[in-house]
Structure 1
Amino acid sequence: MAVHKDHPSATSTSRLERIALPSGVHRDALPLLAGRALRGVCDGYIAVLLPSYLLALGFDSMAVGLISSTTLIGSALATILVGIVGHRYPQRRLLMLASVLMFATGLGFSGLSTLWPLLVIAFVGTLNPGSGDVSVFLPLEHARLAESASPDIRTALFARYGLIGAFSSAMGALAAGVPAWLVEQASLSSLDAMRVMFVFYGITGLLLWRLYARLPARHPHDAAMTEKAPLGPSRPIVLRLAMLFSVDAFAGGLVVNSLLSLWLMQRFSLSLAATGQFFFLAGLLTMFSQLAAVPLARKIGLLNTMVFTHIPSSLCLIVAAAFAPTLTLCLALLLARSALSQMDVPTRTAYVMAVVTPPERAAAASLTAVPRSLAAALSPALAAALMAYGYASTPLLACGVLKIAYDLAMLRAFRRVEPRH
C-alpha cells in the first residue's frame, strides 16, 4: 500500500508561509512580500549610490536634487493613473507593467550619461531616491494586501510588509560598498562599477515580472466583495488625509536618503562605504521599530502610534542638524530618529484601509499616495538648491519643524474618527 508523503517543495513552501505571513493571511500575500524585499534591496543601494554616481558623471548637487525630484514627480503621475483607472484592470497586470518599467529604468541609468535623457528615464521609471517606497508598486500592493487579511490582523500584515522593506533596504544600503569591491577585485573603474549596480536593478525588474505573473488574476476573496470602484462615501476623509500626508511627504522629501547621504559626505567627509554602513544600521532600527508598532497600536490606537512616535524622531533630526558638532553625535541622533520615524508607516496604511469601505481601498491607497508623491517631488530640488548655496542644514531643520506641525494637525483632525472597516 502506497504511503502518501508531502512533496518536499510543498512542505518548504508551507514552512516559508508560516514564517513570512501572520496567521490568517491568505498565501497570495507571499509574492507581494517577496517583491517588496527585492525592491527594497535595490532602493537601499540606489539611494546611497545615486549622488556619487551623478557626481562621477560630472553633475553637481543641483542635478542630484533635480533628478530626485523628477523621479518622484513621475511616480506621482503614475500613481494618479492607478487611482483613476486602476480599478478597471487586474492588479497583477499593472504590477507586471511596473516591473517592466523597473527593468527599463535600470538599463537606462546604466547606459546613459547626459542629463536630459536621464531626466526622461527618471520621470517614466521607478527609481526611488529615498528610504520609503514611493513608486507605483505601493498602492497596487497595499490594495492587494488589504484584501488578503481580515481587519484584526491587517496592521500586523502591513507591519510585516514594512519590516521586510526596511530590512531589505538596510541590506541594500550595505551593498553600496560593492562598487568599491568591484574596483579592487575586477579592475573596473569606479563609474563602471556603479553602472553594474544599475544593471542589477534592471535584472531585478525581470525577477519581479516573473514573481507577479504567478499571482492569480483575481483574488479569491474578491467574489465576496463588491467590485472595486473609485472613491464614494469615503471621499471627504480621504481628501483630508491626503492633504495632511502631503505635508509629511514634502518634509520627508527634504531629507531623502540620496540628499542625506550627500549632506553627510559634504559636512563630515564620510566615505561611500561608511555612509552605506550608516544606512544599514538605520534600516535595521527601522525594521525593529515597525515590529514594535503593532503591539503599540493595539494598546494606544493607530492614530496615537502615528503621532506620538513621530514627534520625538523629528526633534532628533532638528538637534542633529542644528547642534551636533561631531560626526558621532550626529549619527547617534540620526539613528535614534530612524528607530522612531517609521513606526507610523504600517499604522498609517492600516488606518487608511480601515476608514474606507472595501471597494474603495485601491482608489484610497492611490489617492492618498498621489499628494505624498507630488509634495515629496518638489522638496529634493529645493533642498539641493539650499545645499548648493551654503545652507546645508536648513533642509533638515525644515523637515523636523514641518513634520511636528503635521503630527499635531493629524491629532487634532482625526482624534475622534474611529476605524470601522
Structure 2
Amino acid sequence: MPPEQPTTPTITTRLLSLTGLPSLLSTPHDALLIILNRTTRMLSYGASSLILALFFSSLHFSDTQIGLFMTLTLVGDVLLSLLLTLIADRLGRRRTLLIGATMMICSGVVFATCENYFVLLAAAVVGVISATGGDFGPFRAIEESMVSELTEAETRAEVLGWYVAMSSAGSCAGTAVAGWVVQFLVEGRKWEGREAYHAVFWGYVVMGVVNVAGVWGMTDRCELGGGKGRKGKGKGMGVQVQVLEPETDATRETEPLLAGPSAISRSTLSVMLILWALLMVDNLADGMVSMSWTTYYMDQKFHLPKSMLGDFLSVAYFLAALSSVFAGPMARHIGLVNTMVFTHIPSSAAVLFFPLPKSVTATFALLLVRVGLNNMDQAPRAALIAAVVKPEERTAVMGITGTLRTLASTMGPSVTGVLADGGRFWVAFVVAGALRLTYDLGIFTMFINIKLNRHEEGEQQVEGREGDEEEVERRRE
C-alpha cells in the first residue's frame, strides 16, 4: 500500500486558520458555553448601560444621585469580583459563576419591578448590575481562568480572542436592541418611558437565566486541574480537593505569601507586580479618555448630530469585534507580547494625536484606529497571564488584575473633568496617549524574553521564539 501523500491546505482552510476558528471548534464544548454566557451577559450589560440614566431621569432622580449610584455600583462590583475570584477555586468555579448569575437575576427583578432609589442602589451594589456596560462583576476573571484550563498553550490566545470578539458583538447588539425595544414600546404601544425601561430589565433577567443554564451545562473540566488531569476530577458541583505534596527546597522557594484559599507564590508576584503596575498606567489613561469623554469632546469640537456620533461608534465597535478574532492567530505567529505591543501602539498613537485634526473625517479615522485595534491586546494579555502563573493561581491573579485595572480607571475621569473645566480638554488626550505608549514600551521591555508555560507539563517557551520548533524541542529534552 503506497504511503499517504501529505495534503496541501486549501485556501479555505488557510483562511479559517487566520480566524482561529479551528482552535475554537477543537476546544471542549465548555468553552463554547463560556463564550455564549459572556455574549448574552454583555448583551444585557449593553442594554442596561444605554437606559440606566434615562430610567433614573424618568423617576425624577437628580444628576447627583445618578452619579453617586454609578460610583457605588462600580465599588460594589469591584469588591464582589475580588471576593468571589479569591474563593472560586476552593468553592468551585461553576458554583461561583452560579452565585453570580443568580445575583444577576435578583438584581434584574428588582430593577424590573421597583422604583425606590435606595432599594435600587442596594440591589446594584450587592447584586450584579452594569452601570457602564463593562464587565466589572465576578464573571470575567473566572471565565478566563476556565478557558485557560480548557485550552493548550498553542490555542489559548485564539480561543480567548473569540471570547473577546463575541463579548464586543454582544455589547453592541444589546445597545441596539434596547434602543429599538424602548422606541417600539413608547411610540408604537404608547407606554410610558419608565414602563419601557422596566421591560428592558426583564430582558436582563432572561439573560441571567441563560447564564444559569450555561453554567449547569459545563463539566468538571472547567474546574481547577479538570482540563489536563493535573488533579483528580470532581463530580457535579463538588468542591475540589487538592492533595498536598511533601515540602521540598523547590516548594519553599515558591511558598505562598498570601494566606487563604487562593495563595499566590513569590515567583508569580515577582512577575505580576510589574504587570499590574503597567496595567494601572494603561487603565488610568483609558479612564481619562473613555468613550463618554471622547464623544463629548467630538460633540464640543464639531457640534455633530447625536445620530452621527452613534453611527461612528457602531462602526468602530464592529471593527473592534472583527479585529479581536485575528488577535489569537497573530499571537501564534509573532508571539503574545509582540501582538500586545504592536497592535496597541497604533491605538495609543491615535489617542495622542486625536485633538490634532481640524476635520471630522480625519478625527473619525483616528477613532477607528483607536477603537478598532484597542481590544486586540486583551486575548494575548489573558493568555500571557495564564502562561506565567501556576494553574491554581490563575483565577485569583486574574481577579486581582481586573480589580486593580478598574480602580485605576476610576481615577481618570476626574482628571479629565478638571482639564475640561479649565479649557484644556485636549491635554487629556495627549497625556493619555503618552501614558498608553509608556505602557506599551514597558510591556515590550519587561516581558519580551519572559519564559512561558513553565507550569504546564514541563513545557518551556521563550517569547519571540514560539515558532521555533527546534528551540521548543530542545527545552522539552
Once structures 1 and 2 are overlaid, which stretch shifts more, 101-110 or 160-169?
101-110
- 1:210 alignment partner in structure 2: 213
- 1:237 alignment partner in structure 2: 271
Shift of residue 49, structure 1, vs aligned partner: 3.4
Shift of residue 393, structure 1, vs aligned partner: 5.2
Would you say 1:352 and 2:395 are equivalent positions?
Answer: no
- 1:104 alignment partner in structure 2: 106
Once structures 1 and 2 are overlaid, which stretch shifts more, 311-320 or 336-345?
311-320
- 1:126 alignment partner in structure 2: 128
Aligned partner letter, 1:299: H
Give yes or no for contact 1:170–1:281 (8 Å, CA) kept in 2.
no
Give yes or no for contact 1:73–1:123 (8 Å, CA) kept in 2.
yes
1:150-186 deviation per Cα after TM superposition (whole angstroms, max 9, x unaligned) = 1111111101111111111221232242222322111
Q: 2:287 aligns with which of 228, 233, 253?
A: 253
Whole-Å separation in 1 of the counterparts to 2:274 and 2:336: 17
Give yes or no for contact 1:313–1:338 (8 Å, CA) kept in 2.
yes
Whole-Å separation in 1 of the counterparts to 2:127 and 2:397: 23
- 1:142 alignment partner in structure 2: 144
Whole-Å separation in 2 of the counterparts to 1:262 and 1:194: 24
**TM-score, normalised by the number of residues in structure 2:** 0.74
Aligned partner letter, 2:210: L
Aligned partner letter, 1:162: V
CA RMSD in angstroms, aligned pairs only: 3.2
Whole-Å separation in 2 of the counterparts to 1:382 and 1:117: 31
Shift of residue 364, structure 1, vs aligned partner: 1.9
- 2:332 alignment partner in structure 1: 298
1:244-292 deviation per Cα after TM superposition (whole angstroms, max 9, x unaligned) = 2222222223344455556566666666665544433222111111122
Whole-Å separation in 2 of the counterparts to 1:253 and 1:325: 24
Task: Report the count of equivalent residues.
Answer: 403
- Consecutive unaligned residues of structure 2, counting only runs of 5 or more, are 1-19, 232-241, 243-260, 457-477
**TM-score, normalised by the number of residues in structure 1:** 0.83
Looking at secondary structure, tell me which structure has more helix per residue. Answer: 1
Task: Name which one, 1 or 2, has greater alpha-carbon Rg.
Answer: 2
Q: In percent, how many aligned pairs have the same letter?
A: 28
- 1:280 alignment partner in structure 2: 314
Shift of residue 332, structure 1, vs aligned partner: 3.3
1:167-218 deviation per Cα after TM superposition (whole angstroms, max 9, x unaligned) = 1122123224222232211112334333332332233212212221232356
Which is bigger in relative contact order (C-alpha 8 A, separation at least 6)?
1
Whole-Å separation in 2 of the counterparts to 1:385 and 1:144: 41
Q: 2:179 aligns with which of 177, 189, 194?
A: 177
Look up the SS of the partner of 1:28 in the other structure. helix
Q: 2:449 aligns with which of 411, 416, 420?
A: 416
Shift of residue 39, structure 1, vs aligned partner: 1.1
1:311-367 deviation per Cα after TM superposition (whole angstroms, max 9, x unaligned) = 2112223333x2344555433322221111110010100010011122222222212
Would you say 1:225 and 2:259 are equivalent positions?
Answer: no
Whole-Å separation in 1 of the counterparts to 2:296 and 2:161: 30
Q: 1:34 aligns with which of 24, 33, 36?
A: 36
Aligned partner letter, 1:312: P
Look up the SS of the partner of 2:159 in the other structure. helix
Whole-Å separation in 2 of the counterparts to 1:192 and 1:280: 27
Whole-Å separation in 2 of the counterparts to 1:259 and 1:56: 24
Aligned partner letter, 2:399: S
Please show how residues 4-403 of structure 1 align to structure 2 within 5 Å: 22-58=24-60, 65-111=67-113, 117-130=119-132, 132-178=134-180, 179-216=182-219, 219=222, 222=226, 224-226=229-231, 227=242, 229-232=262-265, 233-258=267-292, 260=294, 275-320=309-354, 322-325=355-358, 327-380=360-413, 383=416, 395-403=428-436
Once structures 1 and 2 are overlaid, which stretch shifts more, 355-364 or 228-237?
228-237
Look up the SS of the partner of 1:188 in the other structure. coil
